[in-house]
Amino acid sequence: MPKIVVPDEKRRRRRPTRGGTILTETLIVETALRLLREHGSTGLTARRLGLALDCDPSTLYRYFRGMDELTLAIGDTLIGQALRGWSPSGDWRHDLGTLGRRIHGAYVSHPQAAVLTTARVTGRANELAADEAVLSVLRHAGLPVREAAAVYHAFIDQTLAFAALDAASLALPNAALRADEEIWRSTYARLPSATHPHIAEVAPLLATEMVASAYPGALELLLDGIAARLDGLATRG
């Protein structure tokens, strides 16, 4: 039998937990982020969350229908952190670049949570606000509706894809991360030009380049492409 979901207006627990805490959605999400940071994605369970909040795990279902809904709330919280303090300047390239770096940075600052949430669509307030902000920047830049939709898709997916990739690396155990980085120096740097001429000539650069996020460069390439589209529209117009 599915769990009975308490209406939103009645979800707040009036009585404090055993530890004297009044539960809220915000507190539950913040605690879940801490558990993810400390124990990884497998460490986020209703039982462990209940222990951390000093409440019966069943109490959590007054706030979330299940752990999946909590996961969506976590993702939306990260987007909210990215938007905090942001406002448009009127310069589309600056505004879009800032939004991209903020969203990417918010996810990467919580790598274990990012691994769980970058592929999800929350439909919650912060996600909607971010989508509206990006589309507003694109439309005010002069992109027609169809073009704005296509560029929005590329921008959001690129940002979240790089966030997922970078977060997955950061979520690795330190030993595994160091071992992966060492391969660029121990293997690629030693390949002979006779068999791998192109790798050999760029190997010193790869040893530095490949251990850092490619998102800043990829973002600039995308912004250059948008600028080229806008120039083309201006020429045709």
- Identify the pLDDT of residue 31: 97
Average pLDDT over residues 49-57: 93
pTM for the model stands at 0.88
CATH level 3 topology of 74-236:
Tetracycline Repressor; domain 2 (1.10.357)
Query: For the segment 132-191, what is each residue's pLDDT rounded down to a tens digit?
Result: 999 999 999 999 999 999 999 999 999 999 999 999 999 989 999 999 999 999 999 999
What are the residue boundaries of the structural domains of the chain, listed by start?
8-65, 74-236
Residue range 116-129, pLDDT digits in tens: 999 999 999 999 99
Phi, psi of 44 (to 5 degrees): -95, 100
pLDDT band at 20 (very low <50, low <70, confident <90, very high): low
The pLDDT score that the predictor gives to residue 5 is 42
CA-CA distance, 174 to 187, in Å (whole number)? 20
Q: Torsion-angle region of residue 124: left (phi > 0), alpha (psi -120 to 50) or beta?
A: beta
**What digits encode the pLDDT tens for the residues 192-222?**
999 999 999 999 999 899 999 999 999 999 9
Average pLDDT of the chain to the nearest whole number: 91
Domain 8-65 has CATH 1.10.10.60: yes
pLDDT at 82 over 80: yes
